[in-house]
């Protein structure tokens, strides 16, 4: 239902209230007047604006000059009983004088009744006070009794007055019943609309069809006031996948043939099923409905294309007026939109994952297997960027240098085929330069790589880190550890996990990036890797994030490694990819070197 339609319904309700021929007052729980209908204004002679917002007993006090006046006290007691019990209270005919046009109190007799207005949990939120002015009939009755006392037979008139009182009381009861039905309908519809908003918000927050189904079966019963809910979907010419659940129970999933007579299958074939009373339908129409007393099943479509169906069930028969069915239709439409969205997201995720796996496999094939380092553990990893999902410019390498072993990670700018081609050239040049040089200090290797890249004839920008594990000093690596030197060309520093579980960045060995022939001193760093320690070389995809300073990424890296000294090289590599190389737009290369404990 649209907002304009709801406002229109409230306007009808207000006009119906004003048109009731019996004087009516709507009071809040503090007994202040919220509204008075025209009959009430006419009988009291008080304008509406002099009544609304004021306490009822202030607007109508007792006549201070009439001894024994107790109308105010009796009325207050009745109103308090309604507030305390939440039940109607009928008062006997009583005298309650009111101020007339002259400003003086005039005798009046009333036939009052107080009705509670309850919210959805049964709390009193207002009181409907109606009091019919029966002054004329009381006076006629008194006159009749006086005449009888004088011997005049006026029984016919008395009977007429009594019959009129009965008729007017019945009219009042009918009007009150009609008003209560309108109020109940409006309250139920308002609860359904509010519930629809809640469940639509829950469906909008999910990104898989399993989470969508969970949101529907958990939120819809309470939100829409139903006892059971079902959802079915599937490709054309295939059985439907159906999920059904009663409020508060675990959902039941099953395969549903499209030609099944069940309401869900019928609705999936395009048929709108509305059964207000199960006792009025044949057994074939009850397929799949269990002990439900009423049910509705609606097609779920988007742009005219059938997707499945959604069903609702109640334990007892229902009236299901057009407005309530319109809310359920709106929910079915929202289910269709949400189902299309999550199925599209799942397909996009599946394709992205396939592309990413292909890119990683291609990159690993290009990079090849690392050389073995005697007595040490080595693990390498590559993770493609999520958005690009293509081979890129990050690389790793582990190769022999005589008695030594070189460990390399590098990053050529870009995430495309050109970056991959340049990466292949840079990786090959670095290997060739390192093997050809007599001076194999990492800083010298990087300086020669810079010169070689300039000779390619095109501008190349790359960062790299070269580390050398020295094997020429004759030490038992499992007993005395390993000497390692490194140099960085604009690259993030290596990180060292010590045998005691502490972690630190190795900040030394800095220098400018390669490929531009930039001037600047290249330095070497050196560290002793004790038994039980682990060294990690990585590209910036592991630590960099958009709109975040790099120190935050370094802190995240060191926190992930702290206390993980018991993990092997392969386990450390998996840990870092799982925790840090997540869903962001940069690829990552890793080399992990571990010296086994003594």
pLDDT classification of 556: cutoffs 50, 70, 90: very high
Q: Report d(CA 82, CA 115) in Å as an integer.
A: 7
Q: Is the pLDDT assigned to residue 114 strictly greater than 70?
A: yes
**pLDDT computed for residue 361 by the predictor:** 47
Q: Report d(CA 361, CA 154) in Å as an integer.
A: 109
| Three-state DSSP class for residue 369 | coil
Paired tokens of 229: 């809910």
Q: Which residue has the higher pLDDT, 495 or 72?
A: 495
Q: Is the pLDDT assigned to residue 578 strictly greater than 60?
A: yes
Looking at mean pLDDT, say which of 90-99, 118-127, 314-323, 520-529 comes out highest.
520-529
Q: Which residue has the higher pLDDT, 34 or 386?
A: 34
Q: Is the pLDDT assigned to residue 456 strictly greater than 90?
A: no
Q: Report d(CA 14, CA 589) in Å as an integer.
A: 71
Planar angle of CA 201, 313, 276, nearest 5 degrees: 120
**pLDDT computed for residue 175 by the predictor:** 64
* DSSP string covering 3-52: HHHHHHHHHHHHHHHHH-SS-EEEE-TT-BEEEE-HHHHHHH---GGGTT
- Per residue in 506-547, pLDDT (tens digit) is 999 999 998 887 767 899 999 999 999 999 999 998 998 888
**379 φ/ψ angles, rounded to the nearest 5 degrees:** -135, 140
Looking at mean pLDDT, say which of 65-69, 101-105, 158-162, 262-266 comes out highest.
262-266
Helix (H) or strand (E) holding 267: helix 263-268
Kindly indicate whether the domain formed by 3-195 is annotated with CATH number 3.30.450.20.
yes
* DSSP string covering 195-255: HHHHHHHHHHT--SHHHHHHHHHHHHHHHHT-SEEEEEE--TTSPEEEEEEETTS--EEEE
Q: Report d(CA 465, CA 509) in Å as an integer.
A: 9
**pLDDT computed for residue 567 by the predictor:** 96
Mean pLDDT, residues 387-391 taken together: 51
The percentage of residues in the chain with a pLDDT greater than 70, rounded to a whole number, is 76
Neighbour-count burial for 503-537, b at 16+ CB within 10 Å, e otherwise: beebebbbbbbbbeeeeeebebbebebbbbbbbbb
Paired tokens of 344: 């599209």
The mean pLDDT of the chain is: 80
- Per residue in 39-71, pLDDT (tens digit) is 888 888 888 888 889 998 888 888 888 887 888
Q: Is the pLDDT assigned to residue 142 strictly greater than 50?
A: yes
Q: Report d(CA 183, CA 9) in Å as an integer.
A: 11
Per mean pLDDT, which range of 24-33, 100-109, 123-132, 475-484 is the poorest?
A: 475-484
- Per residue in 314-335, pLDDT (tens digit) is 888 888 888 888 888 887 777 7
Nearest alpha-carbon partner for 377 in 539, 533, 589, 537: 533
Per mean pLDDT, which range of 89-93, 114-118, 246-250 is the poorest?
A: 246-250
| HSE toward the beta carbon, residue 409, CA cutoff 13 A | 26
- Per residue in 196-245, pLDDT (tens digit) is 667 667 666 676 767 777 777 777 777 778 888 888 887 777 888 888 87
Residue 519 DSSP one-character state? -
pLDDT classification of 271: cutoffs 50, 70, 90: confident
pLDDT classification of 103: cutoffs 50, 70, 90: confident
Contact in structure between 276 and 256 (CB atoms under 8 Å)? no
Domain ranges of the chain: 3-195, 205-346, 368-594
Per mean pLDDT, which range of 308-317, 406-415, 474-483, 536-545 is the poorest?
A: 474-483
**pLDDT computed for residue 328 by the predictor:** 82
pTM: 0.47
**pLDDT computed for residue 584 by the predictor:** 59
CATH of 205-346, one of 1.10.1740.10, 3.40.50.620, 3.30.450.40, 3.30.365.10: 3.30.450.40
- For 552, other C-beta atoms within 10 Å of its C-beta total 12
Superfamily per CATH, domain 368-594: PPM-type phosphatase domain (3.60.40.10)
Please tell me the chain's helix, strand, coil percentages from 3-state DSSP, rounded to the nearest 5.
40, 25, 35
Nearest alpha-carbon partner for 121 in 158, 86, 161: 86
Paired tokens of 22: 């019996």
pLDDT classification of 187: cutoffs 50, 70, 90: low
DSSP E strand stretches across 471-554: 482-489, 495-497, 503-505, 525-529, 534-538
368-594 and 205-346 share a CATH fold: no
Q: Is the pLDDT assigned to residue 445 strictly greater than 90?
A: yes
Which residues 6+ apart lie within 8 Å of 537 measured at CB? Answer: 396, 407, 408, 409, 465, 467, 494, 590, 591, 592, 593
Q: Which residue has the higher pLDDT, 327 or 162?
A: 327
* CB-based burial label for 309 (10 Å; 0-12, 13-18, 19+): buried
Any idea which residue has 């308002």 for tokens?
190
Contact in structure between 481 and 531 (CB atoms under 8 Å)? yes
- Per residue in 337-386, pLDDT (tens digit) is 777 776 677 666 565 554 445 444 444 445 556 668 888 999 999 887 65
Q: Report d(CA 513, CA 90) in Å as an integer.
A: 93
Cα dihedral 220/221/227/233 (nearest 10): 20
């Amino acid at each position: 239902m649209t907002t304009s339609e709801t406002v229109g319904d409230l306007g009808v309700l207000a006009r119906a209230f004003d048109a009731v021929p019996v004087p009516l007052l709507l009071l809040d729980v503090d007994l202040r007047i919220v509204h008075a209908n025209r009959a009430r204004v006419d009988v009291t002679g008080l304008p509406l604006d002099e009544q609304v917002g004021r306490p009822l007993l202030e607007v109508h006090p007792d006549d201070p000059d009439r001894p024994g006046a107790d109308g105010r006290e009796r009325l207050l007691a009745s109103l308090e009983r309604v507030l305390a019990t939440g039940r109607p209270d009928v008062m006997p005919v009583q005298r309650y004088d009111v101020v007339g046009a002259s400003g003086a109190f005039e005798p009046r007799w009333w036939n009052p009744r107080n009705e509670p207005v309850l919210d959805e949990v049964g709390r009193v939120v207002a009181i409907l006070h109606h009091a019919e002015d029966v002054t004329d009939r009381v006076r006629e009755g008194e006159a009749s009794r006086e005449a009888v006392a004088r011997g005049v037979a006026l029984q016919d008139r008395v009977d007429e007055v009594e019959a009129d009182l009965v008729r007017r009381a019945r009219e009042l009861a009918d009007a009150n019943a009609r008003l209560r039905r309108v109020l109940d309908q409006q309250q139920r519809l308002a609860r359904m609309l509010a519930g629809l908003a809640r469940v639509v918000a829950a469906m909008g927050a999910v990104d898989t069809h399993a989470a969508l189904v969970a949101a529907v079966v958990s939120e819809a019963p309470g939100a829409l006031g139903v006892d059971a809910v079902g959802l079915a979907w599937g490709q054309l010419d295939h059985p439907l996948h159906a999920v059904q659940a009663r409020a508060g129970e675990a959902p039941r999933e099953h395969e549903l043939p499209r030609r099944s007579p069940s309401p869900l299958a019928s609705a999936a074939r395009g048929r709108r099923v509305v059964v207000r009373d199960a006792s009025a339908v044949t057994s074939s129409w009850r397929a799949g409905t269990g002990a439900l007393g009423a049910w509705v099943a609606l097609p779920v479509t988007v742009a005219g294309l059938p997707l499945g169906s959604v069903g609702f069930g109640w334990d007892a028969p229902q009236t299901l007026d057009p407005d309530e069915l319109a809310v359920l239709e709106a929910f079915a439409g929202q289910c269709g939109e949400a189902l299309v969205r999550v199925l599209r997201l799942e397909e996009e995720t599946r394709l992205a994952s396939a592309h990413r796996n292909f890119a990683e496999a291609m990159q690993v094939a290009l990079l090849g297997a690392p050389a073995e380092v005697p007595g040490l553990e080595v693990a390498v990893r590559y993770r493609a960027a999520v958005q690009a999902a293509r081979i890129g410019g990050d690389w790793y390498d582990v190769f022999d240098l005589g008695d030594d072993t070189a460990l390399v990670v590098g990053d050529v700018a870009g995430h495309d085929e050109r970056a991959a081609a340049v990466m292949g050239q840079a990786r090959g040049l670095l290997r060739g330069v390192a093997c050809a040089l007599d001076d194999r200090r990492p800083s010298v290797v990087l300086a020669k790589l810079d010169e070689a890249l300039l000779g390619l004839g095109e501008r190349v920008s790359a960062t790299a880190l070269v580390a050398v594990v020295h094997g020429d000093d004759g030490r038992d690596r499992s007993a005395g550890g390993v000497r390692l030197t490194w140099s960085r060309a604009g690259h993030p520093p290596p990180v060292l996990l010590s045998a005691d579980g502490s972690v630190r960045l190795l900040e030394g060995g800095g220098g400018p990036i390669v490929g531009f022939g930039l001037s600047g001193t290249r330095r070497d760093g050196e560290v002793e890797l004790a038994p039980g320690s682990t060294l990690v070389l990585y590209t910036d995809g592991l630590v960099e994030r958009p709109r975040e300073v790099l120190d935050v990424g370094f802190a995240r890296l060191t926190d992930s490694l702290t206390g993980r000294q018991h993990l092997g090289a392969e386990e450390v590599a998996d840990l870092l990819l799982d925790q840090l190389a997540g869903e962001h737009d940069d690829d990552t290369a890793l080399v992990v070197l571990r010296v086994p404990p003594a």
